[in-house]
Amino acid sequence: MDEFLTIFGPARILGVEQIIVSFLASFVLCLMIAYVYRRTYEGLSYSRSFVQTLILSGVISSVLIMAIGNNLARGLGILGTLAIIRFRTHIRDPRDIIFLFASLSVGISCGASVFSVAVIGTIGFCLVVFFLHYAPFASRRDYEGLVRFSLPSGTTASPDIQRVIEQFCSSCQLIAVRDAIQGEGQEFAYQVRLRDPSYQGDLIAGLKGLAQVSNVNLLMQRTTVEL
């Protein structure tokens, strides 16, 4: 009977000081996670509201954990209430989901007053994020790009063009040829891998120096593929 009352009876009473400490701890630690996210973000569509969500989600999760306490019935009630709410926000990047999950984890730890886990976990998470951000880990497209140029209609890529590309690129592949300039020319597109990133200007200058070659441009794909 006593165990039944412990599980389904009134939740433990928290002091005002403990509530304030848990709230502030979750806010500060989630603020650190949000700062790391903002500092290491490399996408094209930065969202200020998502950064604020990282902080707010941690704070509200700590409040929920403090409200539940050790009361099973209250926990089931809050779980049922949250199940009614449908979150339809689409998160495209799995990395954003991990950051959101980290904020929720920190908030839960602070709400449960396990501050050592919250602090050490936050610091460790931020260090790992910085390591993955600045280290070349899992990067395979640093030097890959798409080079395009135009030739007069009816002509093909000469051996000189192939020689210039092979001089600065470790590999190249012709991926597209299409009519350009209202049928008065042809546009060639090559998928290339540079031997060194400093060769970008040399490759463009070498192609521009060839006869009949015009409209030379190079698009490095790291910013468009990996992000």
What CATH number has the domain bearing residue 166?
3.30.70.60
Determine the structural domain holding residue 153 and report its residue range. 144-225
User: What Å distances lie between residue 128 and 36, 90, 131, 204, 222, CA to CA?
Assistant: 10, 25, 5, 38, 22
Task: Mark whether 28 and 55 lie in a shared domain.
Answer: yes
d(CA 4, CA 186): 81
Asked if pLDDT for residue 11 goes beyond 60, the answer is no
Task: Mark whether 149 and 83 lie in a shared domain.
Answer: no
What pTM value is reported for the model?
A: 0.62
Last residue of a domain, one of 134, 155, 181: 134
Number of domains present in the structure of the chain: 2
Last residue of a domain, one of 134, 161, 178: 134
Average pLDDT, the chain: 80
Query: What is the pLDDT at residue 226?
Result: 46
8 Å CB contact between 35 and 99: no
Beta pairing partners, 179: 186
Task: Mark whether 78 and 171 lie in a shared domain.
Answer: no
Last residue of a domain, one of 79, 105, 134: 134
Query: What is the pLDDT at residue 224?
Result: 45
Task: Mark whether 171 and 124 lie in a shared domain.
Answer: no
Query: Mean pLDDT lowest for which of 6-15, 43-52, 166-175?
Result: 6-15
Q: How far apart are the first and last CA of the chain?
A: 57
Query: What is the pLDDT at residue 128?
Result: 94
Q: What is the dihedral of CA 120, 125, 128, 133, to 10 degrees?
A: -140
Q: How many CB atoms lie within 10 A of CB 61?
A: 21
Asked if pLDDT for residue 7 goes beyond 70, the answer is no
Asked if pLDDT for residue 158 goes beyond 80, the answer is no
Task: Mark whether 61 and 173 lie in a shared domain.
Answer: no
Task: Mark whether 114 and 177 lie in a shared domain.
Answer: no
